[in-house]
Amino acid sequence: MRKLPLNTPTPAHTAQGLAGHSARHDSAWKHVSGQARYIDDLPMPEGILHAAVGHSQQAHARILSMDLEAVRAYPGVVAVITAGDVPGHIDIGPVFPGDLVLADDIVEFIGQPLFAVAATSHEAARKAAKLAKVQYEPLDAVITVNQALDKELFVRPSQTQVRGNPDQALSEAPHRLTGEQVVGGQEHFYLEGQACLAEPTEDRGMFVHTSSQHPSEVQKLVAEVLGLPIHEVQTEVRRMGGGFGGKETQAAPVACVAALLANATGRPVKYRLSRPDDMIQTGKRHDFFNTYDIGFDDEGLILGANIMVAGRCGYSPDLSDAIVDRAMFHADNAYYLDQARVTGHRCKTHTVSNTAFRGFGGPQGMMIIEQAMDDIARHLGQDPLDIRKRNLYRPGRDVTHYDQTIEQHVLPELLAKLEASSDYRERRSDITRFNQSSPVLKRGLALTPVKFGISFTAQHLNQAGALVHIYTDGSIHVNHGGTEMGQGLYIKVAQVVASAFQVDLERVKVSATRTDKVPNTSPTAASSGSDLNGMAALDACEKILAGLTGFAARNWSVSPDAIRFSDNQVQIGDLEMPWETFVQAAYMNRVPLSSSGFYATPKIHYDPKSGKGHPFLYYSNCAACSEVVVDTLTGEYRVLRTDILFDAGRSLNPDIDIGQIEGGFVQGMGWLTTEELVYSDDGQLLTTGPATYKIPAVSDCPPDLRVTLLPDSPNREATIFHSKAVGEPPLMLGIAVWSALRDAVSSLTDYRFSPPLDTPATPERVLNAVTASQAWAGKQQEAS
Amino acid sequence: MIEFLLNGRIEKVDQFDPNLSILEWLRTKMRLTGTKEGCASGDCGACTVITGTADQDGRTHYDAVNSCITLLGSLHGKELITVEAFQQEPRHPVQQGMMEKHGAQCGFCTPGIVMSLTALHANRKDGTVSHEQILEALSGNLCRCTGYRPIIEAGQDAMVKEWTPDTEHPAAGMAPGSSESALSRIHQNNITIKAAGGARYDAPVSLEDLRSLRRAYPESRLVAGSTDLALEITQQLASLDHLVSVERIPELKGCVLEGDELVIGAATTYQAFRASLCELWPAFDPMLERLGSLQIRNRGTLGGNIANASPIGDMPPPLIALNAILVLDGPDGQRSMPAEEFFLGYKKTALKSGEFLHSVRIPAPKTNETLHIYKVSKRLDDDISAVLGAFRLTITDGVVSDCRLAFGGMAATPARALKTETTLRGQPWNDHSVAAAMNALGSDFSPLSDVRASASYRLQVAGNLLRRAWLSSDSLPREQLTVTDYA
């Protein structure tokens, strides 16, 4: 890999919209005028049918019989298929086996698809699917993480990472605390539900428009269920109405059902999930049960830690192995644990198979150490920020419990800056004073850091391809393996390409992601979209540029050093010509104007057996300071102000990055506060729509929200123009809100008691924490 | 046949299924796909469109509504504006603001947000719009990507800018100074639609016609704003055979002060009665601000909130606390009853066959009377209450001479805490009496645990709301008492 120059000064005259400029989202006008098309908006092909599936009503059972006569007889129904009708593979597990496209013998969660219906309308398909008569023989069902832990029921083997001798360190430590927590799951609630449109092509092939973060996996799995070679199936993703991880693996089953029905009927089939079906049928963020046992000195410096994280994976592995891995990789968050053991369990339950969600287990892992930070501070009577700062990784204390050395120490300075810019200390004393005089409302403050590892932990996924064409009028067309879900990946890659050729951004168009343009793509996930695809696109540009430079040098007899691309012009020695003129000349001289590009992330490796390695190319760093006010009568609360300082390296597009940061923060806040997934004891999801599942609404946005990008902080790794990933890390900034809620409640005990506060910290859980704190204070009074 | 304006052009629709929502019609029949389905339950706002209704003075008033739970039949005589009206120059300042502030990421919620802010822009008076009004306008629009800050700023920027389309623009009526309503061309007649499958929709325009319909078809379902009823269609996939709309009957709409009573027609929307009610009893205002979203309050009606007899409707507890009188109407004439007698059981009311709610009579405050209304929910905006407490207290010389304490979310119906009232009545209004009353609540209620809250939380909070009422009258101002007022 060519080392990119760290300092590329911006010339006075430059093309418009290059990398570093806050260009608008490429679909901005289409978004605001309703012209951006999502799957359900596509023109409907002749003869189109609509799909729905019938759901299992039991969490764990054997299917004794399935009477589908009434389904078949419903007006408008054209086809009904079951597992027996699948011509190819029936198991569509993305990494490990275990996910059947349609259940055959055993069902393992309420909502599992049993059969699929194609009908002439969406409504007819849904109504028909409700008419099946299914008989079950119930089997023992395991619903919660703790039930699975008790029974040692796991979807994948447990893993442990150990450094040194944590047991000895714990027993010798001057102070030792233990704690546990339940960290709730989270529904993605992408505004556009899962959707796809499958159209049969000649040679029994299939073309699938899908709303997926992973078009290549959709392609592969559709080919497998149809029993076709992959080249007979192509998929296209123009855009998603939100993904957040929920369309990484979860779009494929939807596409497979549509393709099976299209194959069975020979007609195009659209399958879009209604909101309740989407919430019942598709995986969510794993809820976790975590414990810690931590030893520390009088200053709160951690000497030893024994941490356990256990995620509810649901009935199948899906991506849970990597997700619990990432929880383990982030059980330290930003802190040096010294002698440490981190154990991760992948709990099997008879609930929907949980899946990727922004942060991918990292947030759930971080929660346990952040709880410990607050608990240590209360135990020692110190400010939690001091405990956090003291334990940060820094030179000399810079090796993680999985043996990766932290090479760029951003957080000590970043935290100091945020502490100053948020007036943390002054506000801390203001708040303490306020709380002493306010009988009902209590304010809380917390400043929490995030260190998040960047790269897929599955090494092979860290690759990307791109395809760049220059047309004879100088306009440029780009495809790459990344998908657009609102995060602005297309515009960022377009800016990279514009920068490579030093032409105006408007000359560059990125079009829909297609498996026949760029093959074998990785999912757009792990915050890697612009890191991977930006580099692949740049590689394609550089290949074209090499050819163009060689041509110019030959054609005009100048040294290659004398050729420069800048401000929509090409300088060839003393000659200067407009970009499009130069492109024309190249074309007339039969010089290639198109190239593919490729990128593979260097340096990364990890050995799960030893629990050691270098799984991340680098770490993304940020911190948030949040202030809340809590009503101790009802547990209701509001976030009053949030300050965020974020290291995006040399940002490709500062405004787009700030959009990711704010949106991620609010999403993380929602995860930890109002977003509550409620299951019945027998495993039925009870919160199946926005009436009962409450994502943040407009009034939840902090009225005072200050987001700043850390200046002068280029990535030391050779990432695309030395930017840093921004997709997932800000989600974990929401932890500041949770910690601030605990801080507010802790004021009831003069900050001596660290109240338990499982998440989501709904008003009810906050009131429980208030009650526990009041009880603790009451006991203290009795004792004294 | 119904007739309405769609983006400036007259649209006539006949023989449609009365269960058809505006959203379904737009997306499947018209293939106008700019309006999105996010939930089909009126909770996310992706489907927001604007409806224009002619005022008495001939001007058109524009409301953002959820097209997913608004029935097509309700459009007769109205104007419907969708995002497709805004695909041409000049770009609306809201669109400009949304682009400049990066207010759209994935873009799926964006058309609905543009509609909500555009409606606010059209309704703004003197060009000034407060921050709170922007939040109110967006209270029913969920965005999962941005965190809202850029959307709020886009709204702020847009509200100080004018939008001057030419008269041919599909949404020209929304521009300032467009005086005459295009709706004058559209009939205001009785409507009966019979769909091919046999389902029927009636939208009478007089009380007499409504009575006859109810006499002839007592099994028909009444519909006003359909903010709750439409959920049967979109969520339970029901197909309703016969709907009778009450929203066009003048006698059932509006607020008038008659003596010391405020009389609100049952088909009056929250937005239409809010100002009059809050003038009489300001305690309603903070609750109404959080009841549903603006889209819901633009369509939902007082009568609907009462007659669906949900245990967690937000209007019944305060009406019970105030001892409001419900006027019932029907084939056998009118009768009245106190609000609390109306609720017989879970979703069961005193309405007899063919009867309907006519109006609600709300007494004005008397000397020494205060009203406290507290709504508690997981989320502040657009969330159904876990508990709602409404307390009317008469404090005479420091003694609780009378009190009516009503709750939602504590029983199968909205209900009074009769034993607690007895505990409190005649006692000095102080910390000690309130503590005793809080203890008594357990003998009045055994609430349920559900997705919104546990039984124990409900009971604890119900008591604490009484304490809040005490503290607020003991001189703790609201800004030190509730997080919504804390600034």
CB A241 within 8 A of CB B106: yes
pTM greater than 0.90: yes
Of A242, A659, A690, the CB nearest to B108: A242
Question: Is residue B473 predicted with pLDDT exceeding 70?
Answer: yes
Tokens of A482: 């990344």
Looking at domain A28-36+463-600, its CATH architecture is 2-Layer Sandwich (3.30)
Tokens of A292: 């810690």
| Residue of B81, B134, B145 to mutate, interface with A, max A Cβ within 10 Å | B145
Closest CA to A745 of A644, A622, A668, A630: A630
Of A25, A189, A655, the CB nearest to B104: A25
Contact list in A for residue B28 (CB cut-off 8 A) is 121-122
Instruction: Determine the Cα–Cα distance for residues B360 and B305; give it in Å rounded to an integer.
Output: 12
Q: Tell me the one-letter amino acid at B272.
A: A
Average pLDDT, chain B: 95
Of B28, B145, B379, the CB nearest to A242: B145
The answer to whether the peptide bond before residue A760 is cis (omega within 30 degrees of 0) is yes
pLDDT of residue B56: 74
Rounded to the nearest angstrom, the minimum Cα separation between B152 and chain A is 8
Task: Using pLDDT thresholds of 50, 70 and 90, give the confidence band for residue A11.
Answer: low
SS3 state of residue B31: coil
pLDDT of residue A4: 45
Q: Does residue B378 sit at the A interface (CB-CB below 8 Å)? A: yes
The answer to whether the peptide bond before residue A87 is cis (omega within 30 degrees of 0) is no
Neighbours of B167 (CB within 10 A): 9
Task: Using pLDDT thresholds of 50, 70 and 90, give the confidence band for residue A3.
Answer: very low
Instruction: Determine the Cα–Cα distance for residues A416 and A407; give it in Å rounded to an integer.
Output: 19
Sorted by where each starts, the structural domains of chain B and their CATH numbers stand as 2-184 (3.10.20.30), 186-245 (3.30.43.10), 250-363 (3.30.465.10), 369-480 (3.30.390.50)
Question: Is residue A698 predicted with pLDDT exceeding 80?
Answer: yes
Contact list in A for residue B454 (CB cut-off 8 A) is 764
Instruction: Determine the Cα–Cα distance for residues A422 and A736; give it in Å rounded to an integer.
Output: 13
Question: Is residue B185 predicted with pLDDT exceeding 80?
Answer: no
Rounded to the nearest angstrom, the minimum Cα separation between A674 and chain B is 6
Domain layout of chain A by residue ranges: 28-36+463-600
pLDDT of residue B182: 66
Instruction: Determine the Cα–Cα distance for residues A317 and A309; give it in Å rounded to an integer.
Output: 16
Question: Residues A520-549: pLDDT tens digits?
Answer: 999 999 999 999 999 999 999 999 999 999
Question: Residues A162-198: pLDDT tens digits?
Answer: 999 999 999 999 999 999 999 999 999 999 999 999 9
Instruction: Give me the mean pLDDT over the B330-354 stretch.
Output: 95
Closest CA to A44 of A179, A182, A199, A171: A199
Rounded to the nearest angstrom, the minimum Cα separation between A699 and chain B is 6
Residue A448 has phi, psi (to 5 degrees) of -125, 140
Question: Residues A570-604: pLDDT tens digits?
Answer: 999 999 999 999 999 999 999 999 999 999 999 99
Question: Which of A493-507, A684-698, B50-64, B382-396 shows the lowest per-residue confidence on average (mean pLDDT)?
Answer: B50-64
Q: Does residue B373 sit at the A interface (CB-CB below 8 Å)? A: no
- A202 catalytic, yes or no? no
Does the complex come out with an ipTM higher than 0.90?
A: yes
Q: List the beta bridge partners of residue B404.
A: B392
pLDDT of residue B181: 64
Contact list in A for residue B95 (CB cut-off 8 A) is 29, 32-33
Compare all CA atoms of chain B with the CA of A702 and give the residue at the minimum distance: B149
**Partner-chain contact A28 B104, CB within 8 Å:** yes
pLDDT of residue B57: 74
Q: Which of residues 81-120 of B touch A (CB under 8 A)?
A: 82-84, 86-87, 91, 94-95, 98-100, 102-111, 114
Question: Residues B199-225: pLDDT tens digits?
Answer: 999 999 999 999 999 999 999 999 999
Question: Is residue B402 predicted with pLDDT exceeding 60?
Answer: yes
**Max alpha carbon distance in chain B (Å)?**
69
**Partner-chain contact B36 A37, CB within 8 Å:** no
**Partner-chain contact B38 A41, CB within 8 Å:** no
Q: Which of residues 445-464 of B touch A (CB under 8 A)?
A: 450-454, 457, 460-461, 464
Question: Residues A440-455: pLDDT tens digits?
Answer: 999 999 999 999 999 9
Question: Is residue A7 predicted with pLDDT exceeding 70?
Answer: no
| Residue of B451, B458, B464, B485 to mutate, interface with A, max A Cβ within 10 Å | B451
Question: Residues B7-36: pLDDT tens digits?
Answer: 999 999 998 999 999 999 999 999 999 999
Of A24, A43, A687, the CB nearest to B99: A24
Q: Which of A187, A728, A764, A782 is catalytic?
A: A728
Contact list in A for residue B103 (CB cut-off 8 A) is 32
Q: List the beta bridge partners of residue A569.
A: A566, A578
Question: Is residue B104 predicted with pLDDT exceeding 50?
Answer: yes
Residue A579 has phi, psi (to 5 degrees) of -50, -50
Strand duo A476-480 + A508-510: pairing: parallel
Question: Is residue A218 predicted with pLDDT exceeding 60?
Answer: yes
Question: Is residue B359 predicted with pLDDT exceeding 70?
Answer: yes
Closest CA to A24 of A532, A697, A531, A505: A505
DSSP readout, A592-634?
--EEEEEEE--S-EEETTTTEEE--SEEEEEEEEEEEEEETTT
Rounded to the nearest angstrom, the minimum Cα separation between A503 and chain B is 22
Of the CA atoms within 13 Å of residue A337, those in its CB half-sphere come to 35
Question: Residues A711-770: pLDDT tens digits?
Answer: 999 999 999 999 999 999 999 999 999 999 999 999 999 999 999 999 999 999 999 999
Tokens of A19: 């990398």
pLDDT of residue B188: 74
| Residue of A270, A492, A524, A634 to mutate, interface with B, max B Cβ within 10 Å | A634
Rounded to the nearest angstrom, the minimum Cα separation between A720 and chain B is 22
Percent of chain A whose pLDDT exceeds 70: 98
Compare all CA atoms of chain B with the CA of A640 and give the residue at the minimum distance: B487
Q: List the beta bridge partners of residue A597.
A: A466
DSSP H helical ranges for B251-365: 270-280, 284-290, 294-299, 302-307, 316-321, 339-342
Of B36, B84, B99, the CB nearest to A29: B99
pLDDT of residue B126: 73
**Cα-based distances in Å from A154 to A357, A421, A572:** 20, 46, 65
Question: Is residue B478 predicted with pLDDT exceeding 90?
Answer: no
**DSSP label at A40?**
G
Q: Which of residues 229-258 of B touch A (CB under 8 A)?
A: 235, 237
Rounded to the nearest angstrom, the minimum Cα separation between A415 and chain B is 23
Question: Is residue A301 predicted with pLDDT exceeding 90?
Answer: yes
Instruction: Give me the mean pLDDT over the A294-319 stretch.
Output: 98
**Partner-chain contact A191 B95, CB within 8 Å:** no
